[in-house]
A and B are shown apart, each in its own frame.
Chain A
Amino acid sequence: GQQLNQSPQSMFIQEGEDVSMNCTSSSIFNTWLWYKQDPGEGPVLLIALYKAGELTSNGRLTAQFGITRKDSFLNISASIPSDVGIYFCAGRNSGNTPLVFGKGTRLSVIA
C-alpha cells in the first residue's frame, strides 16, 4: 500500500530545544494530519490541514501543508518532557479513502 516518507525516524533533544519533522509523498494529498502517540496509548490528533500553503498552530506546535500538496512539516518549539512520544503524519488524497500513515518519528526529550 501507499506510504508516506517521514523523517527523521527518531530524535533525541535537550529540553527547551525546537524540533522539526516532515513528511513527503510521491502523490498529491488534499488533507494532511499530524498525530501524537504517548507510550501505551492510541494516537491523538494534534493538527489537521486542508489547504495547500496552510499554516496552523496549536500551542507550541505549528504545522504546514506544503504548496506542492506533496509534503507537510511539524515544528515543536521549546520542547518539554511531556512531548516524548511517537509523532505520525497522515494524508488523504480523495474523499472518504482511508488515511495513509508515515512510519512515525520517535521523540525523546532529555531534561
Chain B
Amino acid sequence: DVKVTQSSRYLVKRTGEKVFLECVQDMDHENMFWYRQDPGLGLRLIYFSYDVKMKEKGDIPEGYSVSREKKERFSLILESASTNQTSMYLCASSSLDSRVPNEQFFGPGTRLTVL
C-alpha cells in the first residue's frame, strides 16, 4: 500500500514564525503535491514537484515555498506565517510511470493554526 506521511497532525504557530511542514512517501513516486483545504473552497494546489530539486507553482503559491532535496520528501515552508494561512494542509504523491495509473495518494493532513 502507498503510504504518505506528514510530520504533524496538528500544529499551532505564532504570526511571523517560520513553519516547516514535512511530507514523506514510501512508494518511490516521482510526483509530489501540496494542497490546502478550507471550508467551501475545496482543495487548492499550492506547489508541486515532478522530480528532485524541481518545483512548479500551483494555483495559490503566494506566501509559501517548497523544497525537494530527496525523492521521497517534499517540504512546504511558510517563511513568515500569517493568520490567513490557518488551514488544513494535505500532501499527495503519484507515479510518473505510464504503465500504472497515476492517481494521487494523500497523507492524513496537518491542521495548522496560526495565532
Contact = CB atoms under 8 A, between A and B. Distances in A.
B58 A98 contact: yes
5 contacts: A1-B44, A41-B108, A43-B106, A48-B101, A96-B50
A96 B42 contact: no
A48 B105 CA distance: 12
Interface string A34-63: 010000111111001010000000000000
Given A45-B104, A48-B101, A98-B33, 5 more contacts: A41-B108, A42-B4, A50-B101, A98-B58, A101-B42
A35 B31 CA distance: 18
Interface of A: 1, 3, 6, 9, 33, 35, 40-45, 48, 50, 88, 90, 96, 98-99, 101-104
Contact of B43 (A40, A44, A45, A88): A88
Contacts of A44: 106
Interface residues of B, number: 26
A42 B90 contact: yes
A33 B96 contact: no
Contacts of B62: none
A1 to B, nearest CB: 4
